[in-house]
Amino acid sequence: MSSEALQVAKVYRNLLKAVVKHIGKEDKRRHFREYVTEEFRKNSIPSDLSSIPQKIKLAQDYTILLNSELLFSYNIAVDRSDEMIRVLGKSAASVGLQLPEVYQP
């Protein structure tokens, strides 16, 4: 494997990890993972080699944004209510409290 192919594999792996960690594995959010996989497979044999570094840079930048949670602060069409409940639960637990169960009909 060439060093360029190893770099692409590393970027792909890091991006998928970030998507799974910050967006989730649920079926309703599966389209995010599928889109990333589809784009990497579609561009695995590019017609022009000059576009590879640009696409790798774009994937790296998106991974950084996901990991820094900047995209979530701008609501990128991801339901954050589960994440917010988890964060609030951790905050409450850190001071010895527990969040009440919310009634859902």
According to the model, what pLDDT value does residue 13 have? Answer: 92
For residues 24 and 67, membership in a common domain is answered with yes
For residues 37 and 65, membership in a common domain is answered with yes
For residues 53 and 31, membership in a common domain is answered with yes
For residues 14 and 46, membership in a common domain is answered with yes
Q: Which residue has the tokens 């990991």?
A: 67
Measured between alpha carbons, how far is 52 from 43 in angstroms, rounded to an integer?
Answer: 8
For residues 5 and 51, membership in a common domain is answered with yes
What is the tens place of the pLDDT at every residue in 82-95?
Answer: 777 888 888 888 99
| Structure tokens, 53 | 């570094």
CA distances from residue 21 to 7, 27, 52, 93 in whole angstroms, order as listed: 21, 14, 26, 22
For residues 18 and 60, membership in a common domain is answered with yes
What is the tens place of the pLDDT at every residue in 10-49?
Answer: 999 999 998 888 777 888 888 888 988 888 888 766 555 6
For residues 53 and 8, membership in a common domain is answered with yes
For residues 13 and 59, membership in a common domain is answered with yes
**Residue 36 belongs to what domain range?**
1-74
Mean pLDDT over 46-57 rounds to 72
According to the model, what pLDDT value does residue 71 have? Answer: 66
For residues 64 and 28, membership in a common domain is answered with yes
pTM of the model: 0.60
Domain count, the chain: 2
